[in-house]
Amino acid sequence: MSKEYRTMKTEIHLPYELAYGATWTRFFEGLKEMKIFGTRCKKCERVLVPARSFCPRCFVDTDQWVEVKQEGTLVAWCYTNYRYFGMPTEPPFIGALIRLDGTDVNLLHLIGGFDLGDFANAVKIVKNGMKLKAVWSEDRKGHIMDIRYFKPL
């Protein structure tokens, strides 16, 4: 394998337009108004967040809307400090699973509101089970990043 042969550099750019449908549209409209919506399954009674059109376990429609609490508990987290092509979030960041109060699944989002550049310091602050609260963006577009992150209480 000592000899180097030719390689070709190539790229693919494809435009997409993805449909939200009724349930996800309503969820994201809620974010614009600083509200987090879930839906409750009438069969297993779990509150699912983000809102779903059907319960993934019971396979029944979930049309009962619930505005959920903006505070919750940290379930898991990971400090990310590497980079790849097209990475949608600028590192360093802390991805986290958060159990919002009164809900029955974990929401995947970020934790922040403190110095993330100092890894040793960040790791000291973050503990499973800690209470967190949503911090909102000023400029909300109906996007998951309308919540900037969840900050420790």
Partner 1 sequence: MGRAVAIIGVGQTHHGRRMDVSYPDLVREAVLRVFEDTGLSPKDIDGVVSGTMPSMMEGIALTHFYFSEAMQAVGKPILKTETCGSTGVSIAHTAYYWVASGLADLVLAVGHEKMNEGNSQATMTTVVEPFYQRYFIAGAPGVFSMQSQMWTARYGIPEDKIRDAAAFISVTHHDSAFDNPYAHVKIKVTAEDVKTARVITYPIRLLDVCPNSDGVCAVIFASDKMAKKLGRKAAWVKGVGYRGEEYFFGDSDKVVWESAIQAARQAYDQAGIKNPRKELDVAEVYNPFTYQEMLFYECFGFCDFGTSPDLVLKGTFSRKGALPCDPSGGVLCTNPIGATGLIRVAEAAMQVTGKAGDHQVPGAKLALAHAMGGVDQFNGIMILGSKL
Residues that bind partner 1 (CB under 8 A): 1, 3-5, 7, 10, 12, 18, 20, 24, 48, 50, 56-57, 75-82, 84-89, 91, 93, 95-97, 105-110, 119, 123, 128, 144-145
Cβ at position 147, least distance to partner 1 in Å? 11
User: CB of 28 within 8 A of CB of 41?
Assistant: no
CB of 105 to partner 1, least distance (A): 5
Name residue 47's beta-bridge partners: 40
Q: How far is the CB of 112 from partner 1 (least distance, A)?
A: 12
Torsion-angle region of 69 (φ positive above 0: left; ψ -120 to 50: alpha; else: beta): beta
Count Cβ atoms within 10 A of the Cβ of residue 10 and give its class: 0-12 exposed, 13-18 middle, 19 or more buried.
exposed
Nearer to partner 1 (CB atom), residue 34 or residue 76:
76
